[in-house]
Amino acid sequence: MRLDLRRWLRVARSKIRRRGPDQPASPARSKARLRWVLRTVLALAILVVLVPAAAFGIGWYVFPAPTPDDVVISQIAKINFSDGKPMATVRPDGAGNRVKIALAQVPQHVQQAVLSAEDRSFFSNPGFDIVGIARAAWAQLTGRAGGGSTITQQYIKLTTGQDQHSFWRKYKEVIGAAKIAQEYSKERILEDYLNTIYLGRGAYGIQAAAQAYFGVDTGKLTVSQGALLAGLIQSPSRWDPATDPGMATQRWNYVLDGMVAEHWLSPADRAAAQFPQTLPQSSVKGGIPGNHLGHVVKQVQAELTDLGITEQSLTQDGLTITTTVDEGLEQQAADISAKVLKGQLPNLRTALVAVDPRTGGIVAYYGGDNGVGLDYARVLKQPGSSFKPFVMTAALLHKPPIGIYSYFDGSSPQTIAGQTVSNSDGDSCDECDLKEAMTKSINTIFYQLGVEVGPPAVAAAAHQAGIPANLLPNPTAGISLGDKEVRPGDMASAYATFAAGGVFRAPHLITKVETADGRVLVDNPASPAQLRIDPQVARNVTESMLDVAGSSLIPLSRSREVAAKTGTTQSHVVGQNNDGWTVGYTPTLSTAVWVGTNDNSPIKTPAGRPIYGRMVPGSIWQQFMNAALSSTPPERFPEFQPLGEDSESFWDDDDDDDDDHGRHHGRHHRDRDSDDDDDDSDDN
């Protein structure tokens, strides 16, 4: 239509320009021009009057007048597994428990606060604002924001769940607004609106909001409290005073000033008003499963916020959220965890997170069976020796690289950089290379290695692999033995980077988000790939861990190639341990398992002996990995070529036997008494 109007203007101008300013028009030409003008006026009249009137009439009979109960449909969010099967239905507490109240129960000053915020001409307008609609239409045509809606139009939008920016939505909105304005009294419309409007904190309707923000019934709301709630209507989740006190205060002032302008509030009362205190911010909780899936749902909600999708959208837009979680693997994680813990002491807790290295998608997320309790997959814990692969990464990135076949002194105890270090969860060796040290989890060697490359380099390597940047602050030499806290998901994701040949993909739970009206808010099948670590370095780190699972008596079935590392954190109680870990991966699956307690007490067997990472955590990890990969053929990692100054001493170009896969023992020695090592120690 915009192009037709421009074409008409161009034609009109061209007709005028054909005749000079002083050139008289002939009678025939004048009559022709008059006929053209009349036809144009008639066409415009049809376009401006008759077509809208016809459209209005059709819409009047087609679109029903909505009721407050219609909003229930748009309040439900569906969260699905990766294959589209339902996982959970989220219904906000305020929606499920909304208490409808009569307008007479809403104080006059609260009604006026809402009118001040949203529609000061409510009682005099026909239900829609022609100027506002024209302004919105112009904004649509010019690609700008703008426009405005009456309370009656907002009520239509809320009850139909239609809030997309389109002429069709505005058309339906105007019809609905005019219809209910004709059928219902203004008081009835305002009452329905106040029982329908979303005000944040999962609260639908003024009564739920009064309870959520102030813990009182609507009838007890003060002028100041009513003004705060009214000011939140346009963006309740963002303008909640617990989230943005500055904007909440600005809106509160706007409402009160509007009440003064409309003579609903005296200047003296306005001057005496004080910004009200609210209760602590609540969150959307309705519909969260009480079992292990509850933790998944809460993490999905958190990820929605990270994606810019607000709580309001979650509770209003009828979202359908497709996750990366595999239903079968999720259930396996829960079942296997429960089975392994069944024979253990009742205070043990566990968490399991599994990531697909090819996409970054979290295919299983288990934080415990109590979905509304503590999520153990989110608890920060020291990873112990399962952090050693990052020390190995830093060594390979060192200049010159320190390869996995470099030899170190593995005796125990040793005094290293002024600290006494002993081997606990592993054997000792007078002299062994880094691959054997990784397999046997020899603390003295990795502590030496961490000192040589420097603790900051170890932290940097872990961050490159995927440990979040806000973790591992102020690292010291103890970082080599995992003294900095991480989460199971962090470890599964960082190990996945090694599995993917150094390519990091951000871990995520959401692949697609759609609204009830078909809009796609998120469509992200895979995280963007970032080459964080040189592929040869990543492959060398993998090589260093290939013997760990077998040595720890938790190999995978069918001789499946797997890189893994166990870890144990010592307790303050002498001879006991606090946390146990097993983390490992194949080319297509990276899984981290943590076992501990909810009060940081020692983890023990029923016989009272300490639990190590290879034991209960290792059993859960082994059983889950076997179950998850049972239907896929064994895969091998890419061809291995060693890095490091020791590589030429063992690498045999003629040895290309696939079965050997290029694995040899090196002969390069690292002597901590050498001048080179003394220099390195001094540097760090």
What residues does each domain of the chain span?
94-272, 337-683
Whether the CB-CB separation of 87 and 80 falls below 8 Å is answered with yes
Pairwise CA distance, residues 665 & 570, whole Å: 31
pLDDT at 112: 97
Tokens encoding 8: 């008409």
Query: What sign for the dihedral angle of Cα 182, 185, 190, 195?
Result: negative
| Residue partners of 579: CB distance under 8 A and separation at least 6 | 381, 382, 383, 384, 567, 568, 569, 594, 595, 596, 603
Annotation says 311 is catalytic: no
* Spans of the chain below 50 pLDDT: 1-3, 5, 9, 16, 21, 71-74, 133, 136-147, 161-167, 284, 648-684
The whole-angstrom separation of Cα 596 and Cα 606 is 14
Report how far residue 351's alpha carbon sits from residue 337's, in angstroms, rounded to the nearest whole number: 8
List the one residue out of 673, 485, 487 whose CA is nearest residue 594. Answer: 487
Among candidates 129, 255, 114, 125, which has minimal Cα distance to 186? 125
CATH code: domain 94-272 is 1.10.3810.10
* 250 vs 600: CA distance, rounded Å: 46
Amino acid identity of 316? Q
Report d(CA 376, CA 101) in Å as an integer. Answer: 41
Which of the following is catalytic: 118, 311, 330, 452? 118
Give yes or no for a contact between 480 and 455, defined as CB atoms under 8 angstroms apart.
Answer: yes
Per-residue confidence (pLDDT) for residue 650, from 0 to 100: 41
Q: Kindly state which CATH superfamily the domain 337-683 is placed in.
A: DD-peptidase/beta-lactamase superfamily (3.40.710.10)
* Contact between residue 138 and residue 146 where contact means Cβ atoms under 8 Å apart: yes
Alpha carbon separation from 310 to 31, 75, 200, 304, 446 (Å, rounded): 62, 13, 10, 7, 45
Cβ proximity of 189 and 180 under 8 Å: yes
Whether the link from the prior residue into 24 is cis, omega within 30° of 0, is: no
The reply to whether domains 94-272 and 337-683 share a CATH topology is no
In the set 82, 224, 237, 385, the catalytic residue is 385
Contact (CB, 8 A) for 316 and 75: yes
CB environment 183-196: b (16+ within 10 A), e (fewer): ebeeeebbbbbbbb
Q: Which of 565, 570, 572 is nearest to 592 (CA)?
A: 565
Q: Is 579 helix (H, G, I), strand (E, B) or coil?
A: strand
Angle between helices 535-544 and 488-499 (to 10 degrees): 110
- What's the N-to-C CA distance of the chain in angstroms? 73
**Residue 224: which region, alpha, beta or left (left: phi > 0; alpha: psi -120 to 50)?**
alpha
187 is catalytic: no
pLDDT value at residue 331: 97
The span from the CA of 637 to the CA of 132, in Å, is 63
Whole-number pLDDT of residue 139: 47
H/E element, 567: strand 563-570
- In the prediction, which pLDDT does 110 show? 97
Give pLDDT, residue 176: 61
CB atoms within 10 A of CB 163: 18
SS3 83: coil
520 DSSP β-pair partners: 514
Condensed to tens digits (0 to 9), the pLDDT of residues 439-460 reads: 999 999 999 999 999 999 999 9
